[in-house]
Structure formats: C-alpha cells, structure tokens
Structure 1
C-alpha cells in the first residue's frame, strides 16, 4: 500500500521524526554493504525484491561472505517515486519480518543496506549504460512482473531510453561487450525472479531476438551465448509491503521515519537451476539461507503448484461457499483444516514427483505459512480463474494418483464437485454472481466463455432439460476446458455426481 510524507504529517501529531538515511542515529554504525563494490545490477525497485534477494545479500554481507553492493534501477517510468525516495534515504530501508516459524510467532526488524547506487534510467540513461563498464559487476537480478519479461518491437535510437526490460539488458550487455573488447571473463549472470516458467530461457531468447533485430555483430551474439549465464529460477516468499495502519507506531518506536518500510513472512525459498559452484560467488547457501542450486527446476515448480497452489484452490472454493473470507479463517476452522491436511497428506504428496520426505517437509512449511496472523489472504483473490487453476493445480494430482493406485483420490474428486457447484451462477447487472450455502452472494471472475457455459448447464438442469449426471458429464467432457474428455477416466463422472448431489441436498 502506498504511503507518503503527507500521510505521516496528517497522522502524526507529535514532532516530526528524522527520516531514515545514513545520518539516522539508530543505524549509523550498521550500514554494512554501502561501501562495497557494485557486484549486482538490480532491475526492479518493488517490494518483492527488497523483501527477498536484497535481504539475502544483506545477510551474506553481514557475515562477510559476499562483500558486494547493488545498483538498483526501475523497469518502468512509473517507478520514479520509489527510486527518488531510495535516493533520499541513501538506499536504506527497513524490513519487518513477522509470521510463524517452527510453531512460534516471530517478529524482527532490520535496516537493509545493500544499495550503493540508485539510478533512474529514464532521467539518467547514460549513467545506466556507463555502469556496464564496471569491472566488479557480476550479476543482474530482475523482477519486472511476468508482463515485463517479454519481447516488444523496439527501435534502437542513440540517447533514447529503452522501455522494455529485455531491450535495456541487451543494450547494456552490448556496451559491456564493447568496453571490455569481448572479454570472455566479463560476461554476466542473469537471475530473473519473474514468476514465469523457464524465466532465464525466456530472457535469453528476448536478448538474442533484440540483438538480431538491431543487427548487432555476430561476435556479440556469440559472446552472449557462450560467456553469459541466464539461469532459470523459482522464488517463494510472501512480501506484503508497507504496513500503513501500523507505520506511525513503528516509526515512533524506532525513532525514525521510513517511507520504504517493507514487510515479509519468515519463510523464503529460492531454487536456481545452475551449478552449485556458483554459491562461491553468490554465497546464499553458505550464509544459511534456504537457497538451492539445482540441476532441474521442474520438480520444485511441480511441488509448489501441486502442494501450495493446490491447497489454495482446495480451500478457496469450499471456503467461499461456506461464507469464509480469508485463508486464516479457513485454517482456524478445525473441520476444514483437518480435511485439507488429509487431502494434501494422503493424496497430493504421494502423487507429487520428487523426494517424498522433502515434499512432506515442504507441505508442513506451507501449512505453517497459512496460519500467519499478519497476512490476510482473501479467498476471492485466490478464486480468480478457478477452472484453469483446478486444471493445472489439482487435475494432475487426480490423474497421477489414479495411475499409481488404480483408484481415484476421493478428496480431489470431492473438490471437483465443489468446483462445479461454485460455478452455479447467473449474471446480474453485468456481474457474474453465485450464492454460497447460506444464500449469500459472491462474485466470480473467469473467462466469459467459461462462465456462459456453466450458466447454461445449470439453467438446463434447473429447467429439467438435463439431469445432474448429464451436467457433470458435460463439464467433464468439455475439451475446451481440459484438452481432453475426462469422462474417459473410470468412475470419475459417477463419483463427482455422487458428491455434487450430496452438496446440493445438504
């Protein structure tokens, strides 16, 4: 949530506190990292990177392992306000970490001091490009959202800032290539954090495409391919940003104001598809952080989708139909919480590829995160595009379980029935609306063709044109939804019908 100095003046009747910067008394002696050489270019000034990898680098610096700082820049002109604030605060900000860890509620705060240079490329384009000549630079870390990690046709004009992140990176790398005369020792390691599968591969493809579009030398393209690393990675941490309601009380307790205050949960996980020897250069694991250098990222992606995201979808649909609003509320209901634990434990984990014990530990961490009293994760937010989410998060578990056991996972089958009931909807004043078990309305958001299909199916059932079993079979047989006819899975339609009938009669 955005917070300004004006908010502070209006809300704080006491004397104005000093702003956070290098002169702020409480942290004068704790600015480790600001004097270190720049080793990282970070494209992305937002909450997530500041609550994730910047915090990690700070931990490494405190132990003397990394001894490097970060030059940070924003990917879009809209990031100017936060970049300007970072400059005013000498690159400093506070991270408040709070949540549940090993069964205990924990809270801690720390001033993060990793930004030694802050650049607005739309106002300081030459300064940004000159950074390419820095001999100590080794890494590029980014989070520009999934929309930022794509190719956009762009003209290359002298002195004109490039809008797209991959375009900026391409020209930046070309300047580095020219400055160091194509030295094989001066390539960089790219670590994109965008939530996109094969994000490193995608970024590399974009850079190579720009290189060819702009007719850059073949020798440069060869240098990109052979002497730069584009690593695929998977990040996981809930970073909730500025705690506006509590900010003034926190500032008073700390003795300074911080308009870039950020909050995060204790849990953090980063899997990077790369050689473990890279930890010598970027010593996350050595510093005791939950970072893993892996040969294949896919098991970690599958684990997250099936366990964490699958649990989210399981609880969202049933919770909304039961009149609940948040993940926390669902988990505090002993019956629902027990049901969710049983489905994950007995159906999801045994059907998920990878090490069974590692998956089990991961699931335990997920449930602990769900009980975080400081995070209010709305079930309606999780329920967006629920049909597609069911397809990618829960259907693979259903099929894997059936293949392994010769029987269907009844918890997932029940969830399928809940999904169909969730889409019992009508369109009221342009808004797609359903009713929960007590008759209270909720709003659905999904592709229009999905919503139209379900409305028509439920309307036909209510007018006795089709039976409930036929409705189920029509849903399961819709290849536009599932890319296959799910009626071919033995006994699935009968069981879904059985559970849906019980839901309707309850």
Structure 2
C-alpha cells in the first residue's frame, strides 16, 4: 500500500499565509480543514506553516509532505455521514526546539497574514521571561518574539500587521493573549514604537471552536480505513461532521480571513457572545444536567444514553422545553429563534453519533463547577420567564446530588456506589473538588426519611458560597429537587425516570409557583 504524499496525491502549493502554533488534532480537524476547503474553491489560496512547540520529531509530517486525511463520521440533519477529505493546507512543520531560527524567518514573509494557535488552556498564561531565548519557553513569549521579528524586518509597516486568532478553550482568549503579549513586551523593553505597532496593526480576535475531533482511530479501525482509502496515512484523524469556528472581528478581519466565505461553519461577527452562550447552555448544559442520571442507570457513553428510550426522551425534552426557551432574545442575532432551535437539533444529532465514544464518567469531572456555570442561570431564567419550576432540570439536579453521594474514601478519592436496573453494583470515583463537602453532608442524611432528604437539599440550595447565588429563593425548586431525590433513593433511578416521563406526557412542562 502506497503512503500518502504529494507524489501520489498531487496538491496545489500556495503562498504561506498562516503561521500555526500547535500540531494537535483540533487544529488539523477544524481550522486547517476549513482553510483547505477554501483553497479548493480558489478563495483563500494560502498554506499553513506549523510550529511544533513541544518536543518530538516532525518526521511523519515530512514523510507525507504535510498531507493527512480527515474522516468525518456521524449524523447531520438525521442522515448518516461518512466521508473523507485529504487536507493539503500545511506546507511544512518546524520544530521550535530544534530550529527556532526557521520559525523567526517566517516572520519575514510578506505573504503572512494570520497566526492561529491551540496550546491548551494552560498555554495562555504569563511567564516572565526573555523573548531572546532559543526558543522562549511559553507560547505568549514565542508569539511576542515572532511579532517583534516581523516589526523589525518591515520597519513597523502598517500593512504588515497580522490577525491573531487563538482557539484555546478559554473565554476572551484573544483579549487575554493580547494583554499577556503586551506585558511580555514591556518586560523585555521592546520600545514604544513596537508597542504602538502592536496596538494598531496586530489584531487579536476572540474565537470559539466547536467540533469533536477524537483524533487517530484505534488500530483496527485505522487499518480498515486505510484499506478502504487505498493508501497508508499515519496522520489520519476522525472528526464529527458538525463544525463551528466563531471569530470576533470587523470588516478588516473579514478581508483577511477570506476562508470564512466558503463554509457556514465559520462565522465572523463583532460579538460572538451568542455562540458562546448557545454552546454553554444547550450543548454543555444538557450534558451536565443529563449525565449523572444516565450514569446511575448503568449507561457508559453519550451514544448509549441517546439509545435508551427514557434518557433519550429526557435529553430531548430538557433541551427543547427548558434550555432553548431561556436564551435571551436580545442576544440572538437578528432575534432569530431558529438559530437556537437549529443548533439544538444539531446537538441531538451529535449526541447520537455512533462513531464517537464519549464516556459519561469523563463528563462528570468537576460536575459541581459545571452545574453552577452551565445550568444555574438557565434554571433562574426559566423561573423568571415562566413562573414555574423546570421539572426536568430539577430531576437532573437531584440525580447530580445522588451521584455526589460517596460511600467511602480511599487514598484521597471519594467513591460512590449505585445499583443498576439489572441489579448490579457500580462503584465510581467522584472527581470533584467539592467531593469531601458532599461526603460530610450526606453522612447526616437518612435516605429513607423524606424530611431528612428535604433538609439536606434546603441546606445545599441556601449555600451561597457553593453556588454564588441563593437557590433557596427559587420558590418550589428545593421542594421539587427533594421530591425527585427521595424517589431516586427509595424507588430507584429507572422507576423515578419512568414516573417523571409519564407525568410529563400528561401535563405541561413545570409546576406553578405558589
């Protein structure tokens, strides 16, 4: 079987317009993929120089001339998608550790327009260091050194500024990176002229990326795919069909990032808060409110959750009836509610993707912080808008409290236990910074006494240090959670869920406050 390279898979060579820090699968499965698509349509006509910031060789990229395959598998508009794309946007990969001078030489290219990065969330942090090291250690210092090299080479020319788009998964990633670069520049005394050029001619854009890219498939699947494709590809990666890259920018940014014109998954807007809020509430929030309930049923993956008739109904209903209606209309572009409903339909397709193994237990990591950030605002908005309690979210919240019930502690890890509908016992780690807090509170609860459970829930809801708000003021919420929790503890998870679904079929969503 032949290897994938430009000899047996000819591809156009374009000017190097993008510098990319990071070789990870997210960058290759989203920005690089999108730039390749634009090149294929004759729009952007630019290639990407990739910087490998960490140690390790770049041989695999060199052997394949930067080519690799993205296999997109999953559901889209309810239809099964299974297609592959050979991405040819990468021109070369340079190791920062082994050839930092070659990285700095890219700064001298007149064709360069864009810098993108994904150095993980910890990559965008300030480290007080010299940018004149070979190379600097932190990503912001490397970026500052590169920008300073470009400034010097072009004499601070205004038309040689760049658009910098970090994709690290933190809020306001562009603004935070800009602030750090400015601080590093001051520490290294790079001068007022550079600071002025940095301020007016280098545009740092906040961005949001959303695509599940599991990466390289397992050995068996990899072999099957290569057999089907007819060539070997050591860099082959898997991705879901859905994709979104929302970038905060004005007309100047649009004029540079012309690849955005070729794919509806790329959005450039002066305010991307809607896209961030939509993802946080609908995608992340529905995960957080549903997963403890599904896991306590004995399910292991998101796909299994969506195959379970009761859980699938629960997830669909909590998204449709309790999460989607709470996004503020003023936040929605052109006040178009379809933008949220269409995204919700995409989310359900993504959850049902049979090709992605998303473990429920992994999603429960730091469940308390996630519940606070993702779902409490939704619960509060629902009560304000409807003067009702969102009963599905109340059940999900109760299941979260049940999930946080540890039975013992071993070597600093708190362990929970649950009985599955088939009678089996599952033991699981509670990987949450508040595990000890919950363990101590649960010690005081008689699970067979409804009043004891109610006192437990009331104490939790009133803990403003934990929630940064007082949930006890949401009239009826604590009572609804306590009722659901008592049922989970005495009737079991499946019977409680069955009762809830049956009740939802005969009544409208929520119960009136009074």
Pair in the same fold by TM > 0.5 = yes
Distance 1:216 1:463, change over 3 A: same
Deviates more, 1:453-462 or 1:314-323: 453-462
User: C-alpha separation between the residues in 2 aligned to 1:288 and 1:119?
Assistant: 28
Distance 1:325 1:297, change over 3 A: same
The answer to whether 1:485 aligns with 2:467 is no
Give 2:509's aligned residue.
none
Give 2:253's aligned residue.
278
Contact kept in structure 2, 1:148 and 1:165, CA below 8 Å? yes
Contact kept in structure 2, 1:193 and 1:233, CA below 8 Å? yes
The answer to whether 1:436 aligns with 2:418 is yes
Give 1:11's aligned residue.
none
Give 2:270's aligned residue.
295
Q: TM-score, normalised by structure 2?
A: 0.90
Which deviations, in whole Å up to 9, do the C-alpha atoms of 1:174-221 show, x marking residues without a partner? 010000001011010001111110010011011001000111101101
Contact kept in structure 1, 2:18 and 2:47, CA below 8 Å? yes
Distance 1:412 1:276, change over 3 A: farther
User: C-alpha separation between the residues in 2 aligned to 1:463 and 1:22?
Assistant: 66
**Which of 93, 113, 134 in structure 1 is aligned with 2:68?**
93
Give 1:216's aligned residue.
190
Matches within 5 A, 1:65-214: 65-77=43-55, 80-81=56-57, 83-157=58-132, 160-214=134-188
Distance 1:156 1:282, change over 3 A: closer
Give 1:3's aligned residue.
none
Contact kept in structure 2, 1:401 and 1:409, CA below 8 Å? yes
Deviation at 1:289, TM superposition (A): 3.3
Specify the SS of the correspondent of 1:317. Answer: helix
The alignment of Structure 1 onto Structure 2 pairs a total of residues equal to: 479
**Which of 360, 373, 376 in structure 2 is aligned with 1:392?**
373
Deviation at 1:273, TM superposition (A): 0.8
Give 2:243's aligned residue.
268
**Which of 354, 362, 375 in structure 1 is aligned with 2:356?**
375
Specify the SS of the correspondent of 2:444. Answer: helix
Which deviations, in whole Å up to 9, do the C-alpha atoms of 1:445-488 show, x marking residues without a partner? 3344x111211122111399981111111211222310233212
Deviation at 1:242, TM superposition (A): 0.9
Deviation at 1:112, TM superposition (A): 0.9
Give 2:446's aligned residue.
462
Deviates more, 1:117-126 or 1:227-236: 117-126
Distance 1:107 1:329, change over 3 A: same
Deviation at 1:429, TM superposition (A): 2.8
Give 2:2's aligned residue.
18
Give 2:341's aligned residue.
360
Q: TM-score, normalised by structure 1?
A: 0.91
Contact kept in structure 2, 1:268 and 1:290, CA below 8 Å? yes
Specify the SS of the correspondent of 2:107. Answer: helix
**Which of 49, 58, 63 in structure 1 is aligned with 2:41?**
63
Contact kept in structure 2, 1:56 and 1:289, CA below 8 Å? no
Contact kept in structure 1, 2:298 and 2:426, CA below 8 Å? no
Give 2:399's aligned residue.
418
User: C-alpha separation between the residues in 1 aligned to 2:255 and 2:132?
Assistant: 39
Specify the SS of the correspondent of 1:292. Answer: strand
Give 1:10's aligned residue.
none
Specify the SS of the correspondent of 1:67. Answer: coil
Specify the SS of the correspondent of 2:259. Answer: coil
Specify the SS of the correspondent of 1:436. Answer: strand
**Which of 45, 53, 59 in structure 1 is aligned with 2:31?**
53
Give 1:408's aligned residue.
389
Q: CA RMSD in A?
A: 1.7
Specify the SS of the correspondent of 2:371. Answer: helix
Deviates more, 1:480-489 or 1:58-67: 480-489
User: C-alpha separation between the residues in 1 aligned to 2:253 and 2:149?
Assistant: 25
Matches within 5 A, 1:342-357: 342-353=317-328, 354=332, 355-357=336-338
Contact kept in structure 1, 2:70 and 2:237, CA below 8 Å? yes
